[in-house]
Amino acid sequence: MTVRYRYARSKRPLLCTTLLTLALLTGCGGEAGGGSEGEKSTNGAGSASGGKDDSPGSGKAAPSPDAADGSDTGACRDAECEVVVEAGDVLRPKTSYGVQEFTVELINKGVVSWRTVFTTGSGAMQARGSSVSSTSCTGGECNGRLGRTKGRLETDKLIIDFDSIDDDSAVAKLTAKK
C-alpha cells in the first residue's frame, strides 16, 4: 500500500506540470496563432492608407473622425458644433450663452475631466447619463469628470453631449437650449 501511495503521489507533479504547460501553450497559441497580431498590422496599414480606424487593436472604437466639424473647436462659437476633442482643447461659444470657455483638461481611460468658466461670475453645470460623473462649482467656475458611457453636461443655455469617449479623445456636440 505504501508503494502504491508513493507511486500515485510521484505522478501528480508530473501530471500538474503537463497540464499547466498545455494550458499555457494553448493560451499563448490562441492569442498569437489566432491572427490578432496579423489583423492589427493589417488594420494599421489600412489606417495609414486612409482607413477610418485610428486605433487598431486598442479594444475600444475611436471617436468618429467624421465629426461634423472635425477638430475645429472654433466652429463652436455659434453653440452648434460636433468636434473631436482631446486634452487641452477649449470650446468658446459666444458669451451670450453664459459660458466664457469649456476646457477639456484630461481624457484618461474614457473619462473626460473638464472645466467651465462662466461669463457672469456664477453658474451651474449638471452631468447626466454617465457611469462616472462629478461636478463642483465655485466662484464662476465648474470642474468635473464625465465618462465611461455617453454623457451630457448642461448649463441653463447650453448642452454638451459626449456620445463617443475613447482613451484619449472624445466627440463633443455643443447645442444651444431653445
> Please, what are the averages of pLDDT over each run of 10 residues along the chain (178 residues)?
49 49 42 38 37 40 67 95 96 94 94 93 85 88 88 93 90 94
As a whole number of angstroms, the distance between CA 115 and CA 90 comes to 9
Q: What pLDDT, on a 0 to 100 scale, did the predictor assign at position 47?
A: 36
Q: What pLDDT, on a 0 to 100 scale, did the predictor assign at position 11?
A: 54
In a domain, 60, yes or no: no
Domain match, 34 and 77 both:
no
In a domain, 131, yes or no: yes
The DSSP symbol for 64 reads: P
Domain match, 34 and 104 both:
no
Domain match, 97 and 155 both:
yes
Residues ≥6 apart with Cβ < 8 Å to 171: 63, 64, 67, 82, 83, 84, 85, 162, 163, 164, 165
As a whole number of angstroms, the distance between CA 120 and CA 78 comes to 18
Domain match, 94 and 151 both:
yes
In a domain, 59, yes or no: no
Q: What pLDDT, on a 0 to 100 scale, did the predictor assign at position 177?
A: 93
Paired residues of 129 in beta bridges: none
In a domain, 28, yes or no: yes
Sheet holding 111-118, edge to edge: 90-91, 99-108, 111-118, 141-147, 132-138
As a whole number of angstroms, the distance between CA 72 and CA 83 comes to 6
Domain match, 14 and 81 both:
no
Q: Based on the structure, what is the number of domains in the chain?
A: 2
Domain match, 35 and 88 both:
no
Domain match, 88 and 172 both:
yes
In a domain, 106, yes or no: yes
Contact (Cβ atoms closer than 8 angstroms) between residue 146 and residue 162: yes
In a domain, 61, yes or no: no
Residue 34's domain comprises 2-48
Q: What pLDDT, on a 0 to 100 scale, did the predictor assign at position 23?
A: 44
Residue with cell string 470650446: 91
Domain match, 85 and 164 both:
yes
The Cβ of residue 4 has, within 10 Å, a number of other Cβ atoms equal to: 8
The DSSP symbol for 9 reads: H
Distance, C-alpha 109 to centroid of its chain: 5
Q: Closest by alpha carbon to 170, among 144, 137, 148, 143?
A: 148
